[in-house]
Amino acid sequence: MRGLHCLVLWIFSYTIQPGACIPCHLVSKECMEHSNIPRCIESGMRNCSSITPRFKTPNYISKQISSAEATLDTEKGFIIHISDEALQRSRNGQGGNNDTEVNLIVSLLNETIFRVSSSSDSKKRNDPNESEAILHGQRVLGVWLGVKEVHNLSQPIQLIFKNSSLNERGICVFWHLDENGRGNWSTDGCKTSIDDGDIVCSCNHLSFFALLISPQVPEESHIVHLNYISYVGSALSIAFTGLMIVMFLCQRKKQCEHSVFIHVQLSGSLFLLHISFLCSVWFSGQRVPDSACEALGLLLHWCLLATFTWTAIEGFNLYLLLVRVFNIYIKRYLLKLSLVGWGVPTLTVMICGVTKAYGENPFYKDKENSTDKHLCWVTSQTVSYITVNGYLGLVLLFNMAMLVVVMVKMRQLRSQALQFKDHQRRAWKDWVSLLGLCCVLGVPWGLAFSTHGPMSLPSVYIFTILNSFQGIFVFLWFLTLTCQTRKEKQISSKGTIQVSFQSNEDYVTTR
């Protein structure tokens, strides 16, 4: 009779009362009505009953483990490897000894569960298009070991995604819940690697895990083409910017305008940027110490920030020339510009270097040998967003405002020139000048914000071409300004000679 009573309790225990301990395989179902499903599942899985279900549950796996370095093959494309440290910590949480078995629970969940948040902006998070990335297989892997939370492991656990065959870039992430109940995907504590076509996630904690892939990353064939464009464009930009610097140094004895000096500084930053980019790509394919990769990442970051800063200085100088036409004398103007142009990037990378923000950063997977291609760059996503995306956005906003001012000025001058026969020729020159200003003001960099959506691939190609060959465009602009300056000086000198000749002729006639 007692056995029958236990059987009835086993069948109906999860429906007796809300606070009752329910079977682990029913936790996900019971939490579906909860306002914050991930938090409910997280709490329920740590306090559930490990009763074996009567029927096999397809998305639930439970296994009692007691040996170190335990491995669980879910037979669903996932393999979980538990480290000895994680097992020992879980035993300590249950007050057991070294022979105590610990219940390993694995649950496969649908990604739609993680679009719901109990925060005030839950409607926004329900939008499936909110994120630019998607989850591989639209599945989330929940892993729990005992009742105690396991985190900050020196020996990480490993989750292996078998035969993923991804053309997209995959990143291992976990679902992070903050104190306010909001959730988001995070990479903290997780590292991504490739092993014979399998993506391996090494994480120092247990939680909800997934493989985040970006559909915006082009296929491998396009990546190869973009790489060739980048290498050829960078090599040509190095040659032409170097030639521009040599030309400037040869003419240094002559009086030089401030605008020409700023153009040369911008070309110098581009020269260093393309050199550091090629060096970073080349050394990333070699076995170099971590310190060398960190130094290359710091150098590449510094050159990019210097390019952005001198682009902003181009806009500032244009503002002084067009808006504040008079009274623009600034004491030691070029020296102050140099301190800002090179000092701001130096201060920024020093702060980032102290925080250890540089290292190897995977940017695509080589399909042939199933290995990640790495670039020595900023490893912290937050640092990259603030110092690159945010800084570039501010520079572009200012320079675009200056470009609008230039267009208004050009329109006014064109309207005044309609009375001349060569107004079409003047309009053509104005458009050429506008294209040159777009180049030196960094407008092509703004395409980085348009490399998403249905037009992402064409935008990536245009962005790569324009910015790889930017050194050539700046050289042509510099050459145009130099030739125009010489032409104006020749016209001015001819006018002076003619006036002088006429004055002498009048003097002779009067005599």
- Mean of all residue pLDDT scores within the chain: 75
Helices (H) and strands (E) in the chain, counts: 14, 14
Q: Which helix (H) or strand (E) holds 222?
A: helix 220-250
287 by Cβ neighbours in 10 Å (0-12 / 13-18 / 19+) ranks as exposed
Tokens of 203: 């994480």
Note whether 133 and 213 are within 8 A (CB): yes
- 3-state secondary structure at position 300: helix
Task: Please report, for the chain, the start and end positions of each structural domain, with discontinuous segments joined by +.
Answer: 60-214, 220-495
**Residue keyed to tokens 């710091």:** 298
Q: How many CA atoms lie within 13 A of 452 on its CB side?
A: 9
What pLDDT is stored for residue 79 in this prediction?
87
Tokens of 149: 């939370």
Residues with Cβ within 8 Å of residue 462, at least 6 apart in sequence: 447
Q: Kindly list the averaged pLDDT for each block of 10 residues, start to end, along the chain of length 511.
A: 44 40 78 81 79 72 73 80 83 63 82 57 36 66 81 86 61 80 80 79 87 63 84 95 90 69 92 93 74 90 96 90 68 91 96 88 51 72 88 95 83 61 60 81 88 70 92 88 67 44 34 37
| Helix runs in 372-455, H state only | 381-384, 391-416, 423-440
What pLDDT is stored for residue 128 in this prediction?
33
Note whether 115 and 128 are within 8 A (CB): yes
DSSP 8-state class, residue 49: B
Tokens of 158: 């490993």
Q: Report d(CA 48, CA 164) in Å as an integer.
A: 32
Backbone dihedral region for residue 388 (phi beyond 0: left; psi -120 to 50: alpha; all else: beta): alpha
What pLDDT is stored for residue 271 in this prediction?
96
Residues with Cβ within 8 Å of residue 328, at least 6 apart in sequence: 320, 321
391-441 pLDDT, tens digit per residue, is: 999 999 999 998 888 788 777 766 665 554 455 566 666 677 778 888 889
CA–chain centroid gap for 238, Å, is 24
Q: Report d(CA 146, CA 22) in Å as an integer.
A: 15
What pLDDT is stored for residue 139 in this prediction?
79
- 3-state secondary structure at position 262: helix
Q: Report d(CA 315, CA 402) in Å as an integer.
A: 6
Q: Report d(CA 73, CA 198) in Å as an integer.
A: 14
What pLDDT is stored for residue 314 in this prediction?
93
Tokens of 357: 């923000």
Residues with Cβ within 8 Å of residue 352, at least 6 apart in sequence: 298, 301, 358, 378, 380, 383, 387
Q: Which helix (H) or strand (E) holds 92?
A: helix 84-94
Beta pairing, strands 157-161 & 139-145: unpaired
386, amino acid identity = I
Q: Report d(CA 101, CA 91) in Å as an integer.
A: 8
What pLDDT is stored for residue 486 in this prediction?
67
**Residue keyed to tokens 């790495």:** 374
CATH of 60-214, one of 2.40.50.140, 3.40.50.300, 2.40.160.40, 2.60.220.50: 2.60.220.50
- 3-state secondary structure at position 317: helix
Class of domain 220-495: mainly alpha
How does DSSP assign 114-159, residue by residue? GG--SSTTHHHHT-TTSSS-EEGGGEEEEEEESSS---S-SS-EEE
What pLDDT is stored for residue 387 in this prediction?
93
Note whether 373 and 223 are within 8 A (CB): no
